[in-house]
């Protein structure tokens, strides 16, 4: 038991810190721990068990038995590796473009517009405003804009920037575009909160110490806004990797742009192939966890350079 | 001047009719200043008078509304901050929180691609006695230690012109004296130009070759420390740099060598060469330590001004000297510093005394007496407290 472990490792009566920490903190943590056990750990275990299930002998479609069928994973990876690779490369691309667009935006709102609070709040509202409309609707709107008959595509074709037979929807471009567009606020807001607190006196000190504006940006601004960059990229990358709306054929995707989310959805809801869907989910989760922990660790140490 | 190498000597700084206006506020008006190469220049003034703003203009962190800035003869008004051969020790230190102390100090060297930055940074840290903390982050240092790192970070670059914005404010007296010595040594060894901003008049007096006293965005007076102290030009300087007893009155007699001023019936003589004005209403003064207390009077000596009789209303002992407050009816309360050569105070509260001073020790201000009171509000807190106290005492005595 946790309490017992506590008291054996520390000398209880002589160490006031340990004594003060134990019962109250654990008591306060209890609801959170219970919540996590119930709504996070239980489904996770159930998902893990499902991923090893085997089809029931002589059973119907969608009937499975608990087993340890690790071959599920081999099958999933050999069948769906293009989707796995695609998911992470699309998510990476979307995160990259979102960062590229959001950083200057957040910098302008958080640093340059400081002396005009009204402009600052107006621009923040503009960043958040799209949230007020369902993102399904907004994504559908982009589908309209990118459809073959749309003004945009017609004009691009008229200008010969697009071949007569080319499409925009259903391409990697439109999916990455959609992901980038939908996750920009998640990137901008954390960036804004760190940049808003950025002390310009550090930038001045950098300037004073012979650093050109670009060097100041690289050596001072970026490291000091690292918390915002890490938060923003995680908030974009993680949901983008599992996203199934943008890449769906009903929205901006096509047959050649399916991501893991789409495959999981199809296996779970249409094919009723629960073990495959579960195995894919576990793979998605594990890869994200590995990537994120490497990333957090590296960005943490890079800060020191 | 190239910024790619250490400066082999200081550069002179010239500010030509600099004006700086913030929206709705003029921080600096028509500032003209020349600081010769290799000199230690102190800028002294009360809080909010525009000292930091002046340094920021020189460093290129602020653009002047009008005027030009020349460093080493080259016009740098339009140069960006990072191109100027100038470094600043910031009032707020502004140490990079994401770098170690060592990396902070090496930052400027690395940007200028100067060889062996780490060794040079260590050297600079040794100078401020912080080499043992080189691998800490600035947040893990005390205020005084941070201040010394800021000093090392600027000095390590050996800039032609070093700007110091109250660089020793957070240090205790002993360390401060030590750093003053250190600074002075570096400045003299390399012949760098230092522009040093400080609140501490003693620091300015002991370190600087030239002091400029600034008030409300203008330079009130500039000169060698001794000259500023002996011959202040304005009431502000007379009270900001040490203390003064000031009297106002009309000039009633003039000879080729001296003027006589009528101060509430007493004739006070000031040498012409020590008076900035020689006619009309004038303000004259004398330093408290130049006054002599007499328990018997009146004294008749052609070489001395005499005032009194007055009453001692306060005696405060401060080690080497004792400060007496003497209320002279019709004039004002005078401050007297007397060296403690004998044991215990020479006179006690309530004693009747006369005051005298050598006429060569008086000085005449350039101020128009009618304008002088506008400086009252800016006096240092100690003086204000003392004035409060003496006005309270006179009030009590009147009741
Ligand atoms: N960005 C700004 N906008 C408006 N006013 C400013 C700005 N910066 C400084 N000021 C004003 O200019 C005046 C001079 O400021 P400055 O910082 O130069 O004072 P200082 O002499 O350095 O004072 P201290 O000794 O307290 O540091 C102050 O009254 C200040 O309020
Ligand atoms: Mg200041």
Please state whether the predicted TM-score (pTM) of the whole model is above 0.90. no
Assign A152 to helix, strand or coil. Answer: helix
The residue of chain B nearest to residue A222, with distances taken between CA atoms, is B98
List the CATH number of the domain containing A281. 1.10.3720.10
pLDDT of residue B382: 57
Chain A neighbors of B87, CB-CB under 8 A: 208-209
ipTM above 0.85, yes or no: no
Residue B389 located in a structural domain: yes
Residues B205 and B247 in one domain: no
Residue A6 located in a structural domain: no
Residue B205 located in a structural domain: yes
The residue of chain B nearest to residue A213, with distances taken between CA atoms, is B82
SS (H, E, C) B152-210: HHHHCCCCCEEEEECCCCCCCHHHHHHHHHHHHHHHHHHCCEEEEEECCHHHHHHHCCE
B224-264 confidence digits (pLDDT tens): 999 999 999 999 999 888 889 999 999 998 988 999 999 88
Residue nearest to atom 10 of ligand 1 (CA): B27
Name the DSSP letter for residue A270: I
Residue B232 located in a structural domain: no
pLDDT of residue B5: 65
Residue A114 located in a structural domain: yes
Residue owning tokens 């003027």: B259
Residues B213 and B297 in one domain: no
Give me the helix-helix angle, B101-111 and B117-127, nearest 10°. 130
Residues B253 and B189 in one domain: no
Last residue of a domain, one of B179, B199, B226: B226
Q: Residue A208 and residue B61: Cβ atoms within 8 Å?
A: yes
Question: Residue B55 Cα, ligand 1 centroid: separation in angstroms?
Answer: 11
Q: How many residues does chain B have?
A: 399
Segment 215-274 of chain A within 8 Å of chain B by CB: 215-216, 219-220, 223-224, 226
Q: Residue A210 and residue B80: Cβ atoms within 8 Å?
A: no
Residues B76 and B167 in one domain: yes
State the smallest CA–CA distance between residue B85 and chain A in angstroms: 9
Q: Residue A208 and residue B97: Cβ atoms within 8 Å?
A: no
pLDDT of residue B120: 94
* C-alpha neighbours within 13 Å on the C-beta side of residue A208: 33
Residues B278 and B391 in one domain: yes
pLDDT of residue B221: 92
Question: Cα–Cα distance between B231 and B276 in angstroms, integer?
Answer: 9
Please provide residue B228's backbone torsions phi and psi, each rounded to the nearest 5 degrees: -65, -40
Residue B274 located in a structural domain: yes
Residue B91 located in a structural domain: yes
Question: Residue B52 Cα, ligand 2 centroid: separation in angstroms?
Answer: 4
Chain A neighbors of B23, CB-CB under 8 A: none
Residues B181 and B270 in one domain: no
**Residue B65 preceded by cis peptide, ω within 30:** no
Looking at every residue in chain A, the average pLDDT score rounds to: 88
Question: Cα–Cα distance between A140 and A152 in angstroms, integer?
Answer: 15
Residue in A200, A205, A302 to test binding to B, most B beta-carbons within 10 Å: A205
Question: Residue B172 Cα, ligand 2 centroid: separation in angstroms?
Answer: 19
Segment 81-140 of chain B within 8 Å of chain A by CB: 81-82, 86-88, 90, 92, 94-100, 107-108, 111-112
Residues B22 and B167 in one domain: yes
Q: Residue A207 and residue B60: Cβ atoms within 8 Å?
A: yes
A155-187 confidence digits (pLDDT tens): 888 888 888 888 888 899 999 999 999 999 999
Residue A240 located in a structural domain: yes
Last residue of a domain, one of B176, B199, B226: B226
Residues B183 and B263 in one domain: no
Residue B5 located in a structural domain: no
Residues B211 and B313 in one domain: no
Answer whether residue A109 shows pLDDT above 90.
Answer: yes
Domain of residue A260: give its range.
80-304
pLDDT of residue A5: 36
Last residue of a domain, one of B191, B226, B261: B226
Using CB atoms within 10 Å of the CB of residue B183, give its burial: 0 to 12 exposed, 13 to 18 middle, 19+ buried.
buried
Question: Cα–Cα distance between B70 and B86 in angstroms, integer?
Answer: 12
Answer whether residue A9 shows pLDDT above 90.
Answer: no
Question: Residue B162 Cα, ligand 2 centroid: separation in angstroms?
Answer: 16
SS (H, E, C) A80-119: HHHHHHHHHHHHHHHHHHHHHHHHHHHHHHHCHHHHCHHH
Residues B22 and B144 in one domain: yes
Answer whether residue A150 shows pLDDT above 50.
Answer: yes
- Please report, for chain B, how many H helices and E strands are present, in that order: 9, 20
- State whether residue A202 sits within 8 Å of chain B by CB: yes
Residues B182 and B315 in one domain: no
Residues B222 and B251 in one domain: no
DSSP β-bridge partners for residue A64: A55
Residue-wise DSSP of B103-167: HHHHHHHHHTT-S-HHHHHHHHHHHTT-GGGTTS-GGGS-HHHHHHHHHHHHHTT--SEEEEEST
**Which residues in chain B come in under a pLDDT of 70?**
1-5, 343-345, 369-389, 391-392, 394-399
- Average pLDDT for residues A96-120, to the nearest whole number? 95
A198-241 confidence digits (pLDDT tens): 999 999 999 999 999 999 999 999 999 999 999 999 999 999 99
Residue B238 located in a structural domain: no
pLDDT of residue A23: 79
Element holding A64 (H helix, E strand) = strand A64-65
A35-75 confidence digits (pLDDT tens): 988 999 999 999 999 999 998 888 787 788 888 899 999 99
pLDDT of residue B319: 81
- Average pLDDT for residues A18-32, to the nearest whole number? 76
Residue nearest to atom 3 of ligand 1 (CA): B22
Top mutation candidate among B26, B47, B50, B64 for ligand 1, by most atoms within 8 Å of CB: B50
Using CB atoms within 10 Å of the CB of residue A193, give its burial: 0 to 12 exposed, 13 to 18 middle, 19+ buried.
middle
- Average pLDDT for residues A97-102, to the nearest whole number? 97
Residue B140 located in a structural domain: yes
Chain A neighbors of B112, CB-CB under 8 A: 210
The residue of chain B nearest to residue A214, with distances taken between CA atoms, is B82
Domain of residue B393: give its range.
243-371+378-398
Residue A9 located in a structural domain: no
Question: Cα–Cα distance between B162 and B166 in angstroms, integer?
Answer: 12
Number of domains chain A is built from: 1
Residue A10 located in a structural domain: no
List the CATH number of the domain containing B129. 3.40.50.300
Calculate the alpha carbon distances from B339 to B106, B157, B345 in Å.
49, 45, 10
List the CATH number of the domain containing B357. 2.40.50.140
Top mutation candidate among B18, B21, B24, B27 for ligand 1, by most atoms within 8 Å of CB: B27
Number of domains chain B is built from: 2
Answer whether residue A3 shows pLDDT above 50.
Answer: no
């Amino acid at each position: 038991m946790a309490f017992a472990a506590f008291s054996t490792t520390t000398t209880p009566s002589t160490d006031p810190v340990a004594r003060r920490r134990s019962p109250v903190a654990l008591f306060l943590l209890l609801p959170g721990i219970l919540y996590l056990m119930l709504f996070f750990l239980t489904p996770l275990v159930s998902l893990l068990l499902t991923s090893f299930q085997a089809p029931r002998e002589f059973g119907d479609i969608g009937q499975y038995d608990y087993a340890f069928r690790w071959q599920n994973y081999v099958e999933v990876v050999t069948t769906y590796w293009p989707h796995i690779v695609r998911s992470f490369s699309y998510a990476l691309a979307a995160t990259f473009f979102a960062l590229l667009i959001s950083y200057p935006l957040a910098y302008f709102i958080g640093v340059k517009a400081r002396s005009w609070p009204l402009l600052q709040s107006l621009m923040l509202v503009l960043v958040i405003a799209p949230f007020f409309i369902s993102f399904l609707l907004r994504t559908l709107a982009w589908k309209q804009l990118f459809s073959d008959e749309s003004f945009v595509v017609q004009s691009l074709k008229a200008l010969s920037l697009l071949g007569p037979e080319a499409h925009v929807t259903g391409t990697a471009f439109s999916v990455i575009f959609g992901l980038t567009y939908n996750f920009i606020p998640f990137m901008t807001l954390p960036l804004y909160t760190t940049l808003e607190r950025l002390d310009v006196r550090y930038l001045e000190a950098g300037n004073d110490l012979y650093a050109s504006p670009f060097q100041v940006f690289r050596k001072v601004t970026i490291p000091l806004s690292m918390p915002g960059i890490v938060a923003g990229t995680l908030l974009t990358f993680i949901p983008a990797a599992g996203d199934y709306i943008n890449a769906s054929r009903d929205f901006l995707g096509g047959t050649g742009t399916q991501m893991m989310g789409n495959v999981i959805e199809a296996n779970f809801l249409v094919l009723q192939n629960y073990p495959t869907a579960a195995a894919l989910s576990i793979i998605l989760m594990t890869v994200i966890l590995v990537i994120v922990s490497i990333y957090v660790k590296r960005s943490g140490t890079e800060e020191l350079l | 001047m190239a910024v790619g190498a250490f400066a082999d000597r200081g550069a002179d700084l010239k500010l030509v009719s600099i004006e700086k206006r913030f929206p709705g506020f003029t921080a600096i008006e028509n500032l003209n200043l020349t600081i010769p190469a290799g000199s230690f220049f102190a800028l002294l003034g009360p809080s909010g008078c525009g000292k930091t703003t002046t340094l920021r203009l020189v460093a290129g962190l602020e653009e002047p509304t009008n005027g030009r800035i020349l460093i080493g003869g080259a016009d740098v008004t339009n140069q960006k901050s990072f191109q100027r051969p100038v470094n600043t020790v910031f009032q707020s230190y502004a140490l990079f929180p994401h770098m170690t102390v060592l990396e902070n100090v090496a930052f400027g060297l690395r940007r200028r691609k100067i060889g062996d930055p780490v060794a040079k940074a260590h050297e600079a840290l040794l100078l401020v006695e912080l080499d043992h903390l080189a691998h800490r982050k600035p947040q893990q240092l005390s205020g005084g230690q941070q201040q010394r790192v800021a000093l090392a970070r600027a000095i390590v670059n050996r800039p032609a012109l070093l700007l110091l914005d109250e660089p020793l404010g957070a240090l205790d007296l002993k360390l401060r004296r030590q750093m003053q010595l250190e600074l002075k040594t570096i400045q003299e060894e390399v012949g760098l130009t230092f522009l040093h901003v400080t609140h501490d008049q003693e620091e300015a007096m002991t370190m600087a070759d030239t002091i400029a006293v600034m008030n409300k965005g203008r330079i009130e007076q500039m000169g060698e420390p001794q000259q500023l102290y002996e011959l202040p030009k304005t009431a502000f300087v007379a009270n900001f740099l040490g203390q003064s007893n000031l009297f106002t009155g009309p000039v009633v007699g003039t000879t080729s060598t001296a003027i006589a001023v009528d101060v509430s019936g007493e004739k006070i003589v000031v040498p012409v060469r020590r008076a900035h004005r020689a006619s009309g209403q004038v303000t004259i003064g004398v330093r408290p330590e130049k006054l002599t207390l007499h328990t018997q009077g009146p004294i008749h000596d052609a070489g001395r001004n005499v005032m009194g009789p007055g009453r001692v209303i306060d005696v405060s002992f401060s080690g080497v000297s004792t400060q007496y407050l003497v209320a002279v009816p019709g004039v004002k309360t005078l401050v007297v510093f007397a060296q403690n050569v004998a044991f215990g105070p020479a006179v006690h509260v309530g004693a009747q005394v006369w005051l005298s001073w050598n006429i060569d020790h008086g000085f005449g201000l350039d101020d128009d007496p009618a304008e002088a009171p506008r400086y009252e509000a800016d006096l240092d807190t100690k003086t204000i407290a003392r004035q409060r106290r003496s006005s309270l005492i006179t009030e009590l005595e009147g009741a």
